[in-house]
Amino acid sequence: MAKNSATTIAAQLDEMALKIMMVEPGDLSVVGELVVLVEALQSLEGIEEYPALKRMGRALRVVIGKIVMNELLDSAKNYDLLGQCIGLMQESYRKHGKDDASEKAFTLILDEIGYVPSAEDEAGLEAEVPTQSTVALPSAAKQSTQPAASSVPGGALGGPPQGLKILESPPVEAMEFLQDLELLTGFVSETLEHLESIEVNVLELEDNPSDQETINKIFRPFHTIKGVAGFLNLKNIQKLAHCTENLLDDVRNNIRAMDPQVIEVVLKVGDFLKTMVENLKVVLKDGPEQYKNYDISEYAAWVERVQSGTRAEVSPQPTLTAAETSPVAALDAVEQDSTAPPSLPPPQSQSGADGTAPPSAKSPAAPQKAAVGDSIKVDVDKLDGLVNAVGELVIMQAMVRSNPKIAVISDPKLIKDFAQLGRITSELQKTAMSMRMVPIRQTFQKMIRLVRDLSKKTGKEVNLVMEGEETEIDRNMVDSIYDPLVHMMRNSVDHGVQPPAEREKLGKPRSGTVNLRAYQKGGNMVIEIEDDGQGLNTEKIRRKAIERGLIQETDKSSQYELNNLIFLPGFSTADKITDVSGRGVGMDVVKKAVEKLRGKVEAISEAGKGSLFVIRLPLTMAIIDGIIVRVGSERYIIPTTAIQESLKPRRETYNTVQGKGETLMVRGTILPIIRLYQLFQVEPVYTDPCDAIVVVVEYEGRQRAIMVDELLGKQEVVIKNLGGLSDIPGVAGGTILGDGRVGLILDLAGIVQSHSGHGVVES
């Protein structure tokens, strides 16, 4: 039990580590997600066994809260420090709280951020926790210091920093956009798509500022967003989209050029709109109390200033209005205290405060469905249902065919029909599978922005060259690959590519190049990230590894092996030895995320020349290529990717060690033998390895010879989970075999680990 909860804690910490990577100053929505994770960590079962971890989590929660409330600086540096904090929490967890050095270091870092723990914070947090367990961040943070009721009379709460205009949050009945939830859901997903396309087009425009068609492509989605937002009475979004549209209209009519300022406006407004729409998404999920009434006036004024030619010095940060407390909570408070004056203004004054209705409010109100080619949107569940049904059809078809009574019929017509049926079903399967595949383009395109922002921030010049955006990937994997990809891109730009001056000194071109490639190879999707920067410092990695006891002083590991040590947990957290650590979060989170997708990641690097990171992923999560083996009456599937060879051992290659461990000499390498029947407790046919067959597998560079009775063949199998039986050591899942029975798919990570005598990495 305890161990189980421990694994979830580890997973939670990993997720936090990934999340902190994604945080950008000014982007509160991601910070909100981070807080949700931290809070979830605090309430995990078994957390009590890690008191230090719990203390750190609590402090972290307070600090993030303060950042949101602008009491602490919302800066990249602070997020970097927070990242180190999370790294320390991982460290503390790994040591099972036995070493309080991490906590001490943790406190020091918090000190650097400018946080001094006070009893008040603690008390505020304690008071808040029971009632606010699931609240998204910003409102929760404010409520922790301000009782909800006091914010009801508008403006009683001190004005937000930067002295912005305070807006009343609308009463729940004024939130008209909630009337048609279906429409709102459509709006949210469509707008997010629009915003993405805007971003991509804007970046394209940076290279080619006068392309009328691209300008139109940016103008139109703003127009659509404005129209639908107006229809749904989302005034904030409508107004912001409207003034940006006006600005773009000038550009379109050649009144002004598409200069960097306009581009900046479009990008920033896009980000802000995204924040607002993401908030709506939360509202749809968790109810109207999550609604945040963002104050857009500053933004709108900025856009208008830009339009009228006034130079705007800095772009404002998205800010919540003071009355961001949820209207529902506010109403509750009013209800509880009936003596409270009805201080909520009528809805009309709300729209009045928003400024006059935009002139073009009469613009098309009905959502304009973006006609993208000839495609239609299909509910994911329906699609999955179809794919499952087709999978069953294929199996059923094979079962009917191999039915002994039917197999003996030698009627040519029947045989021909069966052949036809087989063709149709496999065609159907292929089509169904391909429906789940999407090009990786969207994910790649998000990297353009990332690299642009990163290079601006770090003062480096970086060219991003992308290839193979059309490569298709299972849509279920797209989201999961995004975070690790961001982490690796960040690494390449932050730590790989050197600053321009340094590059010139080294005789390299001023601007560095990061190549992002995707292609299919042998049933795998490969993503490569290559930079021409400084490369990994193998010697430092080696010293660090020796220090950590991972390798011996005398170890003659190759450069490749040493470089790939950076993927081990705890390797690059507490210090910067490897020079490949973003925010103090190790590359192990990347590795774990990739492995979750049944993929592999490796690093190839040459000091001074650059690094290449290769991620290999299966094309789909649903199907694997496997060899079916038999042990006694049971059949198992071994994923082909891990198999190196299979052979019938000869007597002279077989040895025992101390009478227990068994080894086999294969091509000069000594491999430990794993008797699968022993591990899985089934009755085998052969107990002598020389009668049986061994399958040589490799996992994380460790080779093992797995002993089985017989090889039955190679087959693509559809992976199914085992219902409520998950996380069984050595079993990755199940599949339905040709005869309708279930076969288990082996999880080599589990098998190799459960049988590993050495190579234990974690302390």
Partner 1 sequence: MGAASVAVDSSVGQGLGGKYLTFSLGTEEYGIVITKVREIIGILEITAVPHTPDFIKGVINLRGRVIPIVELRMRFGMESKAYDDRTCIIVVDVPGPNGTVQVGMLVDSVSEVMNIAPQDIEPPPDFGVTTDAENIIGMGKIKGKLKILLDVDRVIGRTLASALSSLK
If binding is defined by CB under 8 A, does position 3 make contact with partner 1? Answer: yes
Distances from the Cα of 142 to the Cα of 41, 64, 330, angstroms: 21, 12, 14
If binding is defined by CB under 8 A, does position 4 make contact with partner 1? Answer: yes
Single out the segment in contact with partner 1 by CB under 8 A; choices: 90-98, 183-191, 391-399, 648-656.
391-399
Q: Are 566 and 576 in contact (CB under 8 A)?
A: no
If binding is defined by CB under 8 A, does position 744 make contact with partner 1? Answer: yes
Report the residue number, 395 or 568, with the smaller CB distance to partner 1: 395
Nearest-approach distance from CB 196 to partner 1, in angstroms: 29
Nearest-approach distance from CB 743 to partner 1, in angstroms: 7
Nearest-approach distance from CB 722 to partner 1, in angstroms: 5
If binding is defined by CB under 8 A, does position 365 make contact with partner 1? Answer: no
Residue 99 DSSP SS3: coil
If binding is defined by CB under 8 A, does position 679 make contact with partner 1? Answer: yes
SS3 content of the chain, % helix, strand, coil (to 5): 50, 15, 30
Q: Which residues share a beta bridge with 663?
A: 655, 672
Nearest-approach distance from CB 697 to partner 1, in angstroms: 17
Q: Name the phi and psi angles at 23, rounded to 5.
A: -70, 130
Question: Residue 515 has which token pair?
Answer: 């190549």
DSSP letter string over 661-680?
A: EEEEEETTEEEEEEEHHHHH
Single out the segment in contact with partner 1 by CB under 8 A; choices: 283-291, 441-449, 552-560, 716-724.
716-724
Q: Are 487 and 21 in contact (CB under 8 A)?
A: yes
d(CA 257, CA 276): 28
Q: Which of 481, 515, 479 is nearest to 497 (CA)?
A: 515
If binding is defined by CB under 8 A, does position 738 make contact with partner 1? Answer: no
Report the residue number, 113 or 627, with the smaller CB distance to partner 1: 627
d(CA 127, CA 121): 10
If binding is defined by CB under 8 A, does position 386 make contact with partner 1? Answer: no
- What is the footprint of partner 1 within residues 460-489 (CB under 8 A)? none
DSSP letter string over 386-423?
A: HHHHHHHHHHHHHHHHH-HHHHT---HHHHHHHHHHHH
Q: Which residues share a beta bridge with 677?
A: none
Single out the segment in contact with partner 1 by CB under 8 A; choices: 155-163, 319-327, 389-397, 516-524.
389-397
Report the residue number, 516 or 597, with the smaller CB distance to partner 1: 597
Report the residue number, 344 or 736, with the smaller CB distance to partner 1: 736
Nearest-approach distance from CB 745 to partner 1, in angstroms: 11
Nearest-approach distance from CB 742 to partner 1, in angstroms: 4
Candidates 13, 135, 493, 736; binder of partner 1 (CB under 8 A) is: 736
State how beta strands 462-467 and 437-439 pair.
unpaired
If binding is defined by CB under 8 A, does position 725 make contact with partner 1? Answer: yes
Q: Are 732 and 648 in contact (CB under 8 A)?
A: no
If binding is defined by CB under 8 A, does position 740 make contact with partner 1? Answer: yes
Single out the segment in contact with partner 1 by CB under 8 A; choices: 1-9, 195-203, 452-460, 485-493.
1-9
Report the residue number, 4 or 655, with the smaller CB distance to partner 1: 4
Candidates 138, 468, 649, 734; binder of partner 1 (CB under 8 A) is: 734
Q: Are 227 and 364 in contact (CB under 8 A)?
A: yes
H or E, element range at 484: helix 475-491
Distances from the Cα of 749 to the Cα of 618, 652, 755, angstroms: 16, 29, 10
Candidates 647, 682, 711, 749; binder of partner 1 (CB under 8 A) is: 682
Report the residue number, 114 or 738, with the smaller CB distance to partner 1: 738
Candidates 634, 684, 695, 708; binder of partner 1 (CB under 8 A) is: 634
If binding is defined by CB under 8 A, does position 720 make contact with partner 1? Answer: yes
- Backbone torsion region of residue 377, taken as left when φ is above 0, otherwise alpha when ψ lies between -120 and 50, otherwise beta: beta
Report the residue number, 178 or 395, with the smaller CB distance to partner 1: 395
Q: Name the phi and psi angles at 128, rounded to 5.
A: -80, -40
If binding is defined by CB under 8 A, does position 742 make contact with partner 1? Answer: yes
Q: For residue 108, how many other CB atoms are within 10 A of its CB?
A: 12
Question: Residue 180 has which token pair?
Answer: 């048609």
If binding is defined by CB under 8 A, does position 729 make contact with partner 1? Answer: yes
Report the residue number, 1 or 119, with the smaller CB distance to partner 1: 1
Candidates 151, 743, 748, 752; binder of partner 1 (CB under 8 A) is: 743
Candidates 120, 173, 337, 392; binder of partner 1 (CB under 8 A) is: 392
Report the residue number, 474 or 634, with the smaller CB distance to partner 1: 634
Q: Which of 662, 681, 263, 729 is nearest to 453 (CA)?
A: 263
Q: Which one-letter DSSP state was computed for residue 694? A: E
Interface with partner 1 (CB under 8 A) = 1, 3-4, 7, 388-389, 391-392, 395, 634, 679-682, 720-731, 734, 736, 740-744
